[in-house]
Amino acid sequence: MTADWSPETLLAQALGEIEPVYGGVAPPIHTATTYIRSADNSYPMGVAYGRDDNPTSAAPERLLARLENGKQALLFASGMAAAVAVFEGLPVGAHVLAPKVMYWGLRKWLLDRVAAGRLAVTFAALHEPGVAAAALAERTTALVWAETPSNPLWDVIDIAALAAAAHKAGAVLAVDSTAATPMLTRPLDLGADVVMHSATKYLNGHSDIIAGALVFPDDGPLYQSAKTQRHDGGAIIGHFEAWLLLRGMRTLHLRVAAACAGAAAIAERFANDARIADVLYPGLASHPGHSVARRQMRGGFGGMLSIRVKAGQAAAIQTAADVQLWKRATSLGGVESLIEHRASVEGPTTPVPGDLLRLSVGIEAPDDLIRDLDLALGRL
């Protein structure tokens, strides 16, 4: 599709691409690992070997780049693989500025790189005004890593302000936009240099593949470095997973809209509940990042929220044990609603409060989800 169609149309028709041999409207799976050379030793079809090229993965890459207003996208075997490709492109000893509270798996990986002398990392409250600029003034920084809304406290980082501060300091800005998706936020439009997605989550949306993605505004050094890291490390996505990802993306707009509506209803219902100490959701006017979220998120505030149970950690764990409709499971962004006691998952070094339950809202009827959670809280 070359016209300026809406994201919903681009998604529903997967860019309108038609299978060229038989005219199928559903994209096929290409399982070949190697491709034929012509007599002059060239590759006339533009693909050479499966570790670099595959039409099945190229299709969702084109779609994602279009959704993010980018030029290039790369799929990876997981969200972690995508994130690691960005950091591994940095020189040894490079300084990174990252959020104090972020996806715990990547935070642990960064701490391991610090211990090994590979990177230097400063963790700071990047959602607070002036914090990033102050941290960037203290030392030369190669990369600023942001996550917004951040998991699992759902702090909102001002991407445009952070991009300006990073670029003024000579750093590049990478944004993990997994929770927002391109339907709600487009970080490249706000000045980011690369966008990362754990495509396992909302992009696929059905809890049946592991995948990651990076999107770039151009095919410059950042893109070339990540592409080299993917090639050399072999962190490619499988053919079937890429096909499932594209199939899932075709309903992204519908699923995100339903999740946003459900999360907003749940947040409003429990915001003043006597059993709840706090509801962390950017869509609430009481949320510290609400004004920034209204400015940089369009069409909703996401399907993720957290609640802090007033009676404490044991009560939070008991609440998760007593629900019937919510599924007690890690991950987020699927069609089914998930509940999780994050501190138990992240361990003793977690910055997450012990009374916190993370909720990933799916596409079920919001009233059913509210009733199930209300009943579980009522059993305390």
pLDDT at position 276, please?
A: 98
The CATH T-level fold of domain 252-378 is Aspartate Aminotransferase, domain 1 (3.90.1150)
The secondary structure of the chain, three-state, reads CCCCCCHHHHHHCHHHCCCCCCCCCCCCCCCCCECCCCCCCCCCCCCCECCCCCHHHHHHHHHHHHHCCCCEEEEECCHHHHHHHHHHCCCCCCEEEEECCCCHHHHHHHHHHHHCCCCEEEEECCCCCCHHHHHHHHCCCCEEEEECCCCCCCCCCCHHHHHHHHHHCCCEEEEECCCCHHHHCCHHHHCCCEEEECCCCCCCCCCCCCCEEEEECCCCHHHHHHHHHHHHHCCCCCHHHHHHHHHHHCCHHHHHHHHHHHHHHHHHHHCCCCCEEEEECCCCCCCCCHHHHHHHCCCCCCCEEEEEECCCHHHHHHHHHHCCCCEECCCCCCCCCEEEEHHHHHCCCCCCCCCEEEEECCCCCHHHHHHHHHHHHHCC
Residue of 35, 51, 294, 327 marked catalytic? 51
The verdict on whether 176 is a catalytic residue reads: yes
Residue of 66, 107, 113, 201 marked catalytic? 201
pLDDT at position 158, please?
A: 98
The verdict on whether 103 is a catalytic residue reads: yes
pLDDT at position 251, please?
A: 98
- Distance between CA 230 and CA 232 in Å, rounded? 6
- Distance between CA 139 and CA 134 in Å, rounded? 10
Q: What is the CATH number of domain 7-249?
A: 3.40.640.10
Q: Which of 195, 149, 161, 155 is nearest to 297 (CA)?
A: 149
pLDDT at position 21, please?
A: 84
The verdict on whether 49 is a catalytic residue reads: no
Residue of 53, 155, 176, 193 marked catalytic? 176
Q: What is the pLDDT along the chain (380 residues), one digit of tens a residue?
A: 777 899 999 999 999 888 888 898 888 899 999 999 999 999 988 888 888 888 999 999 999 999 999 999 999 999 999 999 999 999 999 999 999 999 999 999 999 999 999 999 999 999 999 999 999 999 999 999 999 999 999 999 999 999 999 999 999 999 999 999 999 999 999 999 999 999 999 999 999 999 999 999 999 999 999 999 999 999 999 999 999 999 999 999 999 999 999 999 999 999 999 999 999 999 999 999 999 999 999 999 999 999 999 999 999 999 999 999 999 999 999 999 999 999 999 998 899 999 999 999 999 999 999 999 999 999 98
The verdict on whether 227 is a catalytic residue reads: no
Residue of 53, 103, 269, 342 marked catalytic? 103
Annotated domain spans of the chain: 7-249, 252-378
